[in-house]
Structure formats: structure tokens, C-alpha cells
Chains A and B, each alone.
Chain A
Amino acid sequence: MIDTITKKSKINIPRPPLHSGRNIVPREGIAGQALLTVITIMAFLACLTLGAVSMVSDTARGWQNDISREITVQIRPFENVDIDAAVREASLIMTSFDSVKSVTALSDAATKRLLEPWLGTGLQLEELPIPVLLTITIEDDAKPDFAGMRERLKKAVPSASLDDHRSWVDRLTNMAYATVIIGAFIFILVMTATVLTVVFATRGAMAGNREIIEVLHFIGADRQFISKEFEHHFLRLGLKGSVAGGLAALFAFLGLGFWVSLRQATPEADQVNALFGTLSLGWVGYLGIFLVVMSVAILTAVTSKITVMKHVGMLETYGSTKEI
């Protein structure tokens, strides 16, 4: 009976494993959670900046197109001038151009609505010297000669003036450029901060694993081997953080779009719509976020590799290690 138990117990004793199952550079020795959070925040900010810039520039381009496809002719009333005849004459001149798609005179009712916020209700337009507005729509692919139009109109109807909204277009273009430049600047700042954070984290990780790095160096491990031990970890960390940041930015845009759609026709939604358009990212925005996610991950891995290579490179310099 005793023999049996002894034999059984001998058979059942598991052999302890030869391997600890740990990496040469232990994962817990490398700043993990804090760095992951920082990378996530940085990726989130970078994606947010890129998405916002993409939306604003799309919207500004939309405004620019809309405005440049529509011009206005204003006919001021003068004494002894038949305003209706002047409107007809101006309309005829404008429709004679190939690039003009349509000419619409603003009706009295529309003019009243337009002036209502300033002059109140119950207006008698006939008693006031209100100019008549003609809205001229330009053919989509046409390149109209605004200077020629202006000259012919002025000759035939001296009280008419043509406004091609050039000053608005210029201002919007400048605003769009300024937005893109500011966005690019913020983007560069965020990316620089990410690189510096990773450099400090890598240095911290190496300081925490100084003894392991030195032992590896003294047993003949080269820079490539040692940096690989860190590189995989940082690539994984960078990928995790940047994907989380990118997804958070995507959800932020989707959430904002949903919020605006829930509050259609409210003043706050109108404000957001006016600034960002429909709040939907185009394919350029999605592609940009994907590229930012990949860039942050690669940047993290490359930065850590360069930092480790530099550090181990110093160890490989004759007379640079004090320890034995």
C-alpha cells in the first residue's frame, strides 16, 4: 500500500518548468499604463485636429464654390428713372451672357422678409428708396467675365452695380488657409510632444532595466538584439494607444454629428452647422485618421528604437562602462 502511494505520488509530481515564461526585458519593467494613456491622448488630439481641419476646409471650399456660382446685381432707384424698365434691361443684358444660367429678381415679399429684422413689419416698399436685387446663377463649368459684365451693365443701366462677392471669397479663402495652417501647427506640436514623451518613457524604461542591458551587453548582445527587446513592446504599446485615440476621435465626430442631427433647426446646431457644415468626415478625413494612427504607432516604435540604439551604442564605446 505504501509502495503504491509512493509510486503514484512520484508519477504525479509535475516537473517544474525550465522557463520562467518571461521576456529577457520584463514587460512590467517598462512604463506601461501611463505611457499608453499619454499615447492615446496624443493620438486622440492629433486625429481631432486633423478631422476638424479637414471639415473646416471642406466647408470653406463649399462656401467658396456656392458664392462664386452666384452673383448679385443691385439696381438703385433714382428720381425720374423707371425702376421696372431698368430691372428688365439689366435682366436682358445678364441673360445675354452664355455663362449665366438664370436671372431672378428678388420679389417685394422676399425684400420685405430680408429687411424685416432691421425695419420691422408692415413696410411700404413703394415709399422707400429700396434697391432691387437680381440674383444671377452662373453655369457650373463656366468661367464668366465679370469685368465685361460689369462694364456692359454700367453703360446700359447707370444705377446698376454688380457684386461678384470677390471680397467674401477672398476672406473665406484666407480663413480656410489660416485654419489649415493653425491645424497643421497644432498637429506638429502634438506629434512632437508624442515623440518627446516616448523618448523620455524609453529612457525611463532603460534606466529601470539598466542592469539587464549591461548584462546583455557584457555577454555579447549587440545593439540590434537589445533594441529588439524594447522595440516590439513599444510598437505594440504605440499601436494600442493610437488605435484607442483614433477610435475615440472617430466616436467624438460621430457623437457630435448625432448631437447636431438631434437638434436640427436649433440656434446651437445652426452655429455648429455654419462653422463645420454637416459635421461629417469625408474619405480624406477617415484616411487622415488612419494615417495618424499608423504614424503614431510607427513613430513610437522608431523613436524607442533610436533611443535604445543610442544608449547601447554608448555602452559599445571603448571605456564607457564603469561597472563590472
Chain B
Amino acid sequence: MIQFENVGLRYGLEPEVLSDLSFDLPANSFQFLTGPSGAGKTSLLRMMLLSIKPTRGIIRVFGQEATTIARGDMPRIRKDIGVVFQDFRLLGHLTTYENVALPLKVRGQDESSFKKDVTELLKWVGLGDRMHVLPPVLSGGEKQRAAIARALIDQPKVLLADEPTGNVDPPLARRLLRLFIELHRSGTSVVIATHDLSLMDQYEARRIVINEGRLQIYD
């Protein structure tokens, strides 16, 4: 799905924050991306999302080298890479239901075709009775779940989640983890960036650890 080959990243003239990253994100895989705060987890996710370019090395996404991706193809690739932003990025003037349905609306799908799926997913993430409200009214945990639901609704090939359980209590974190596991079982490759060790201990999965700019993988 996503391959990194000798990738390095530096900001400006600073030393490299990430060095010699080489790894493969296989199809239908599940991994935690972890490391201390400021280790470069978010930078790595940004590179996977093609949001920033590495200073050196090669990134391949769905078999295509990133530098050769045409502008017009970018929306299709974005569609296949779901992302849960650390700050949720919900649209405050739309209801929770509308926010979650947005990716399907953007694809031009008719509401009658997705209404049931969206309401079911919202119920599944525990927002069944909050789907009518606007995001500013939601608590941090509810916003988190709405953001996750929006990333899942169109069943992307890869899901990148940046600290998806950072704002929720442990029982809800376990529930959200189950949600990601379900998604993985349905064929999506999942990358969860977290520094929550107790969360990682709950599921046996590949761990990508970043420390001092270097990468170690524990399969």
C-alpha cells in the first residue's frame, strides 16, 4: 500500500528529524506507530498522507511513486487514504450526521443510498443520540468518535489516525480500538499513531517505533 525507501526529512537547515526510514505498509495490515512526544510521528503520518515531501528518499503509494502522481489523481488517492486528524477537523456549522456523511456526499452519492449506513455507524460509535447536534456542542470524546466515523464511512484502503484515543476515557478507548480492528478485518490497512502503551497492549499488532529520528519495527 505505502512504501518508504531511505526516506529522510528535515525542516529548513535543521538536522534531520527522521532519517533512513525504510518500511512497507502491506495491504490489510494493522500497526501502531509509537514513540515519545516530538519523535516525529505526525511528520511521518504527513508524509504517508502526501501532505509533505521528504527531503530525500522515495515514497510509493498504491504502487506509484509519489513524485509522479499527477495533480488530477490526488483526490482519488486522498479518497483511498482516510485520516483522523488530531484536532478532529469537524465542520462546525454542519450536524454530526452531515459531517460523517460528507465523504459520501463529496462522491456525489444520493442521500437515500447512504443515510442508513451513516446512522448505523454513528450508533455503533455511540453517537446515535448526538447525530442531530452541531460539533461545538459535542464533548472532546464525542468529537473524536465523529471524526473517526467520518474517516471510516467510505471504507478507505488505508486509515491513518493521529492519537485517536487521546481525548477519551479507557473504556471508550477500548471501544474505539475495537472499531479500528473491525475496519482492519474488513480489509483496510490501519495505522494508529499513539503513545498510549496500555492501548497497544490490548491488541497484538505490528509496532513501528520512532526514536531519535530512527525507525524500529516489531512484528
Contact = CB atoms under 8 A, between A and B. Distances in A.
Interface of B: 42, 45-46, 49-53, 66-67, 69, 71-72, 74-76, 78-80, 83, 85-86, 89, 91, 93-95, 97-98, 102-103, 105-107, 131-134, 150, 154, 162
B172 to A, nearest CB: 23
Contacts of B91: 24, 212, 215
The 6 closest A-B pairs by CB, nearest first: A220-B79, A319-B53, A16-B132, A222-B75, A316-B74, A221-B106
Interface in A109-155: none
Nearest to B90: A215
Contacts of A216: 102, 106
Given A215-B89, A322-B46, 15 more contacts: A18-B97, A26-B93, A215-B91, A216-B106, A218-B89, A219-B79, A220-B79, A221-B106, A225-B106, A313-B71, A316-B71, A318-B50, A324-B45, A324-B83, A324-B162
A222 to B, nearest CB: 4
A317 interface: yes
Given A24-B94, A221-B106, A323-B51, A17 B75 contact: no
A300 B84 CA distance: 36
B183 to A, nearest CB: 16
B71 A221 contact: no
23 contacts: A16-B132, A17-B95, A18-B98, A18-B132, A20-B98, A22-B94, A215-B91, A216-B102, A216-B106, A217-B78, A218-B78, A218-B89, A219-B78, A220-B75, A220-B76, A220-B106, A220-B154, A222-B72, A313-B71, A316-B74, A319-B52, A322-B52, A324-B83
A323 to B, nearest CB: 7
B103 A219 contact: yes
Contacts of A19: 95, 97-98
A221 B75 contact: yes
A66 to B, nearest CB: 63
Contacts of A278: none
Contacts of B106: 216, 219-221, 225
B89 A211 contact: yes
B45 to A, nearest CB: 6
Contacts of B67: 318
Nearest to A321: B51
Contacts of B80: 220
Interface in A4-30: 15-20, 22, 24, 26
Contacts of B131: 18
Given A220-B103, A221-B106, A324-B42, A319 B132 contact: no
Nearest to B46: A324
B139 to A, nearest CB: 18
A319 B93 contact: no
Contacts of B52: 319, 321-322
Nearest to A215: B89
Nearest to B82: A219
A24 B51 contact: no
A219 B81 CA distance: 8
B94 A318 contact: no
Nearest to B43: A324
B117 to A, nearest CB: 13
A319 B51 contact: yes
Given A16-B132, A221-B106, A225-B106, A322 B93 contact: no
A215 B74 CA distance: 14
Given A18-B95, A20-B95, A324 B75 contact: no
Contacts of A16: 132-133
Interface string A269-297: 00000000000000000000000000000
B71 A317 contact: yes
Nearest to B80: A220
A225 B86 CA distance: 25
A319 B86 CA distance: 19
Contacts of B95: 17-20
Contacts of A323: 51
A324 B94 CA distance: 20
Contact of A220 (B50, B53, B78, B94): B78
A255 B154 CA distance: 61
Nearest to B132: A16
Nearest to A28: B93
A324 to B, nearest CB: 5
Interface string A216-254: 111111110100000000000000000000000000000
B164 to A, nearest CB: 13
A324 B85 contact: yes
A324 B103 contact: no
Given A18-B131, A318-B50, A218 B83 contact: yes
Nearest to A209: B91
Contact of A322 (B51, B83, B103, B133): B51
Nearest to A315: B74
A324 B49 contact: yes
Contacts of A322: 46, 51-52
